[in-house]
Structure 1
């Protein structure tokens, strides 16, 4: 592969919108960052995907008259990554000149490139401060200072161990002129008792100190008002603040969980992280009620120092989940200011649109969907944009690990070069945090560099750019359709689906919430028709935060084809309480729902389909009208050269494929780049690749449902990539057109029969 910097052009402007979908009459806000002095903005309709993605990233668009179009003055916007907590202690809490701050910590990467702050307090100008941190070589350090220039610090002798729990306390007494640091490792075997108790003589004058910020997992940046720095990677559990100085014996008792009523008399704040785990609020159970709030994320529903392993659902033992896992690369909201606002015209048709930006020769797009007004369907067909998938993959950085898939002359897209240079834009749930833990949250309130119509994924044309081939086909053939997003379906359920005769999915509808699954199931039961034009669908249990719907949560669990494991005891989603993992373990088996389910993952190559016996059944004749008996279907395409590829699904009666389902076609041949999914393996075995394993295949299926419903499934992500080949004049497009026309006009599809397949 060529040097990654050798992109075709450099990104000069980026941005994001505050919503994925908007209704006519609503405002949509755009946040823009550019170093260019001026830029231009236009609204365009995206009329299809890249016609020649191997040679050009141009996309077909239609200019939309918009009062927001024009030239704008450029400005810089800043994203401040790193989760932390703000604690609302009284500004005068240090003035008595005595305090003790205690908590449990679980550092995940104590030896790091920079200092990490566990707890900090400072005045407005940061001249008065107190700070507990981890030095670059992994040692605890307690530092104090005041405006008169006096300061003191205490540093532990031994470096902290990664992924072990410690009880730590830092104290100061002006009367005793003493600074103290205490730590005790309270998890894992040790050869000797790992307890450190260090004191130092110091006199710090806090008598007039007014604290502006009290933070967990970060320090206030004195050089930039409102910013934080030196973020901590790891867990913190139940910090406590006292207006008292304790001795070593008392602190050892606290570490063991022994604290008397007398000790609590001088409590300033006592935080209980086990309360309201689904929220960003950190409860102070003291009489002061100095509640805290999480900023930029932080993972809750994680095990704390007292977890026994007897419960794995935090709702059943919340006191064992009284912790927050912080990361220095968390991003929940980029927090940019609004640059452009556009009110959606009342007469604008539903579809896929974008704010097109141009600065110094580089063109960027900020996509969004215009959906119909709630309760007012405008067409018989509904396109369901898989925005949860876009969010799950948002800013994925797997291109760094993809050398085996890439040609020597591969040039990294400009968007990926930019992403590689801007860690603050966050990662996808396919990536790892700085401390090696899997990313569990993804936000749409940030620039998403791979959610662009002119982006080419390192594997192939994939996700949003590929799904534009589906909407482009609808546009080209004059089909009336509405567009909505996963978030819309999650919010509105079956009422959103009922008005439509046919629902069409995107190419990779992988991430579904329970409300979405229930709505689709009910829609089909009531006579709805589905065209599942993708693969690896309906796979991961997914949650959208009820209070922050822009935030998606996925916990991988310990099964399924995944990029990371959930740590022991941390399977349940903090935002909804749902157990994480794959849907089939919780009753929603894709084969039962849509006839096929994930069977293999691969890439680099793809194939076409060959017709099977069921394709000649009278009930399937409408599908193959105009298709030859021996004609290979989709041995071409913009995604790896074939319609059957990337991630593929199989028909399987054992997993619940309806008995009367017609298995119409199957992939010609998938090579050993494709491997059988390991959730279907009980033991490790050889010969799991496409060249030898009979279940490594993509199956095309169709079945009717009593009451008028029907499901057509292609069993492959790559179907969309072949749909647009040769300007939509091909057998993949012909089959897709045949199916849609049939489902629109046939009131009561005839029952198909069981072909006796095994």
Structure 2
């Protein structure tokens, strides 16, 4: 058996198991079609020395040998968190070598896109294509993109790029006084004290940001004073304990250094105070600034590059020269800012690099206050991480100006080049809405870019064993995007992942390569499209219909909630609009209140409270508690730092999705056969004949490109006790699910048997219509994988017919009035135990 070499690339759709150059019997392979012609997947000869089938070629039926992929839960400890793209030190698998990112996820006609690319030093062709369909499954229409001739192709020679991960605080030009008598003090709460590498706490640096003398943690976790060459001048003899507060004090006086360690939460057997001394003379004349939570932070001209970053909280650092305070940084002020104020009056304000987590409880948090604005003095800590990333900071490879007459749609900047492993192509998506204030259709497709950013670079595959835990009935199947992501921890992770120290990730930035945000991405969980690649099913369906539509991203809706939906009669969601801000929910409610219609073609929607950073619109924040979650925020830290609002589920803020769309999240699961929908007796009433025109009593969606059915992945049900309106008409409900589907944890008051899909009647998808007082209506399906049934049989199926019937009716209502603005706030926060669905 031949194993794919580290760094070797296997082109998606190219089957190296066939050494004769023939097409696989399964007919797999992507074809790019458009005005420029088509290109098949086997245009070049496969490598006869590599007998593997690409992980993306999941449908090849003659697999002679499979690739061996080694996943690691942790990357090697590296004292410098500046990583090199394209040189995998520890991973063996299928890898991409050409990829990039844009400066935004949405751009209007006439605006420019900045393209950032990493390659291997060769020439890369850069152009724009329209995305139509991303799934190469042979049971669907295949991978389809359309060239955009009005955008000229550019070429650029693209080198491998470096990404500087890790957060710290940098204050330059601090010193204008005598540096011969300095002292420093700070509070620390280490989360990985014995990480096996140095971690900077308080570093005196030169004008280039390089270390001169630093207070740090040794690889064993002991506080120490060290020089840039690694010389340790003084060290405590005991390591700090994990997640406990300490006060550290350092005195730098002529020919003497003194280090003091004072535990603020001493445990039995721990020294009340420890000291270390050194008689070494240290020249501090080159000291210019201070770096906190790292040993150094030089700049390469475009970004800062922290080194030896500390994992943990830091509070109230102070720097003195004799009796004079040179700088005192107050972290309890302006939590949304990436600068921290110097309250000494000397103006030595500091910059936060790579957005560490703010609004964190400090050493004096009493547990009585849960809002940082009520007692800011108890929230004086910042949590730094060695894997924080705000902006990858790659140089610009090209600029693309979107034509003024470019039709609205989902597009991608296409990269094509030859790497050391052959020809590669990458597609970097961008949503193009119509020009502001000029809708071109009466139907708007709401593309859930907030959800894409929440899932950006999700790494749960490498942390959880889904098969052994009994969560799946099939093997996980990582794609080339997943394996490449595993090789690049420096690209950051999703809002589902943990930092390297185990704390949950609260922020997600769009300014980095997001490898699972690709039109051909297949998620390892169900070996099928998810996110953007699944939402392209709807975009393709529109091309097979007579409906004109515009495309609007979550970012567009959040940016202009008052007017973004003006002129639209019907809104259609993607399959998974899970992450919504309050402004966006308000906009949808105003749309319905003014007579508009909403088609919710997904599941698990409108679930998590989501904040967009007002100062950095490329950043989202989520803090998890209560509902189904992969991590939980620490006590007292549930409020978002960017907006100050309460995090968690919208349900616990009195805004359950049931109130908006008639149904809400109730279960999740993944197996090989998602069930179909069966019509309810109510659906046969004449009142609802328009919904089922051309559909008899057959099962709806007993087929699909995602898990072979229309009701799966994550499910929503109607529940009057959770806010579903009394006039909610349940027209179809899913057949029984397997026990791989369990009742959502927020619906479980006491643990008991029978909470799986085979027994619990609350585990289901409900298809509903909710008529609205102003003449509009809501249609909801309650399943993330519902849209995967649309392209089946060339869109000639009962799911497609059903959606067309509803859209025909909604579009013809013409009930949308001039926008009105709600004066009332969100509904009250009272919740009730879920009532059982009648029948």
TM-score (norm 2): 0.83
Contact 1:609 1:633 in 2 (8 A): yes
Superimposed CA distance per residue, residues 608-633 of structure 1 (whole angstroms, 9 cap, x where no aligned partner): 1111012112221111111112x011
Shift of 1:634: 0.6
Shift of 1:409: 7.1
Residue 77 (structure 1) aligned with residue 186 (structure 2):
no
Superimposed CA distance per residue, residues 423-461 of structure 1 (whole angstroms, 9 cap, x where no aligned partner): 000000111110001111101110100000011001232
Residues 617 and 36 (structure 1 numbering): CA distance in 2 closer, same or farther, change over 3 Å? farther
Unaligned runs of 5+ in 2: 1-65, 71-90, 817-836
1:113 counterpart residue number: 196
Instruction: Specify which of 591, 603, 622 is matched with residue 690 of structure 2.
Output: 622
Superimposed CA distance per residue, residues 297-350 of structure 1 (whole angstroms, 9 cap, x where no aligned partner): 100011001111110100100010011000000111111111111111111110
In structure 2, distance between residues paired with 1:184 and 1:635: 66
Residue 385 (structure 1) aligned with residue 465 (structure 2):
no
Contact 2:167 2:306 in 1 (8 A): no
In structure 2, distance between residues paired with 1:125 and 1:406: 52
Residues 502 and 509 (structure 1 numbering): CA distance in 2 closer, same or farther, change over 3 Å? same
Shift of 1:587: 1.4
In structure 1, distance between residues paired with 2:738 and 2:308: 48
Secondary structure at 1:339's aligned position in 2?
strand
1:183 counterpart residue number: 261
Superimposed CA distance per residue, residues 558-596 of structure 1 (whole angstroms, 9 cap, x where no aligned partner): x00111111011000000001111001111111111000
2:578 counterpart residue number: 510
Instruction: Specify which of 264, 270, 275 is matched with residue 197 of structure 1.
Output: 275
Superimposed CA distance per residue, residues 202-253 of structure 1 (whole angstroms, 9 cap, x where no aligned partner): 21233x3242x42111122689785321111000001000112xxxxxxxxx
2:662 counterpart residue number: 595
Contact 2:94 2:483 in 1 (8 A): no
The alignment of Structure 1 onto Structure 2 pairs a total of residues equal to: 721
Instruction: Specify which of 218, 225, 236 is matched with residue 142 of structure 1.
Output: 225
Instruction: Specify which of 241, 259, 264 is matched with residue 161 of structure 1.
Output: 241
Residues 500 and 354 (structure 1 numbering): CA distance in 2 closer, same or farther, change over 3 Å? same
Residues 481 and 678 (structure 1 numbering): CA distance in 2 closer, same or farther, change over 3 Å? same
1:217 counterpart residue number: 293
In structure 2, distance between residues paired with 1:333 and 1:144: 30
Residues 125 and 632 (structure 1 numbering): CA distance in 2 closer, same or farther, change over 3 Å? closer
Q: What does residue range 29-178 of structure 1 map to in structure 2 within 5 Å?
A: 29-52=114-137, 59-93=143-177, 95-124=178-207, 129-144=212-227, 153-174=233-254, 177-178=255-256
1:235 counterpart residue number: 313
In structure 1, distance between residues paired with 2:155 and 2:515: 23
Q: More displaced, 220-229 or 290-299?
A: 220-229
In structure 1, distance between residues paired with 2:432 and 2:299: 42
Contact 1:2 1:410 in 2 (8 A): no
Q: What does residue range 591-740 of structure 1 map to in structure 2 within 5 Å?
A: 591-605=658-672, 606-629=674-697, 631-740=698-807
Unaligned runs of 5+ in 1: 245-264, 750-755
Residues 710 and 223 (structure 1 numbering): CA distance in 2 closer, same or farther, change over 3 Å? closer
Residue 429 (structure 1) aligned with residue 513 (structure 2):
no
TM-score (norm 1): 0.92
Shift of 1:150: 12
Superimposed CA distance per residue, residues 126-171 of structure 1 (whole angstroms, 9 cap, x where no aligned partner): 78711111111111111247xxx99661111111100000000111
2:106 counterpart residue number: 21
In structure 2, distance between residues paired with 1:20 and 1:126: 33
Secondary structure at 1:228's aligned position in 2?
coil
Residues 101 and 54 (structure 1 numbering): CA distance in 2 closer, same or farther, change over 3 Å? farther
Shift of 1:76: 2.1
1:373 counterpart residue number: 435
Shift of 1:51: 4.5
Residues 708 and 182 (structure 1 numbering): CA distance in 2 closer, same or farther, change over 3 Å? same
In structure 2, distance between residues paired with 1:538 and 1:87: 41
Contact 1:36 1:75 in 2 (8 A): yes
In structure 1, distance between residues paired with 2:655 and 2:140: 41
Residues 340 and 92 (structure 1 numbering): CA distance in 2 closer, same or farther, change over 3 Å? same
In structure 1, distance between residues paired with 2:140 and 2:777: 39
Superimposed CA distance per residue, residues 521-566 of structure 1 (whole angstroms, 9 cap, x where no aligned partner): 1111111100000000000000000000100000002x00111111
In structure 1, distance between residues paired with 2:151 and 2:743: 52
Residues 197 and 4 (structure 1 numbering): CA distance in 2 closer, same or farther, change over 3 Å? same
Residue 347 (structure 1) aligned with residue 347 (structure 2):
no
Shift of 1:604: 2.0
Contact 1:2 1:411 in 2 (8 A): no
Residue 4 (structure 1) aligned with residue 89 (structure 2):
no
Contact 1:53 1:461 in 2 (8 A): no
Superimposed CA distance per residue, residues 52-78 of structure 1 (whole angstroms, 9 cap, x where no aligned partner): 17899x620111014441332122221
RMSD: 2.2
In structure 1, distance between residues paired with 2:398 and 2:129: 15
Residues 533 and 621 (structure 1 numbering): CA distance in 2 closer, same or farther, change over 3 Å? same
Residues 96 and 72 (structure 1 numbering): CA distance in 2 closer, same or farther, change over 3 Å? closer
Contact 1:413 1:456 in 2 (8 A): yes
Shift of 1:98: 1.0
Superimposed CA distance per residue, residues 714-758 of structure 1 (whole angstroms, 9 cap, x where no aligned partner): 000011111111221111111011111110112459xxxxxx957
Instruction: Specify which of 556, 579, 602 is matched with residue 488 of structure 1.
Output: 556
Superimposed CA distance per residue, residues 374-420 of structure 1 (whole angstroms, 9 cap, x where no aligned partner): 11111110011101100000000112225416788765211111100
Shift of 1:188: 5.3
Instruction: Specify which of 529, 534, 538 is matched with residue 602 of structure 2.
Output: 534
In structure 1, distance between residues paired with 2:514 and 2:485: 9
Shift of 1:480: 1.0
Shift of 1:8: 9.4
Q: What does residue range 567-578 of structure 1 map to in structure 2 within 5 Å?
A: 567-578=634-645
Residues 724 and 118 (structure 1 numbering): CA distance in 2 closer, same or farther, change over 3 Å? same
In structure 2, distance between residues paired with 1:141 and 1:8: 40
In structure 1, distance between residues paired with 2:759 and 2:432: 46
Residues 53 and 458 (structure 1 numbering): CA distance in 2 closer, same or farther, change over 3 Å? farther
Q: More displaced, 186-195 or 388-397?
A: 186-195
1:261 counterpart residue number: none
Shift of 1:92: 4.3
Residues 270 and 706 (structure 1 numbering): CA distance in 2 closer, same or farther, change over 3 Å? same
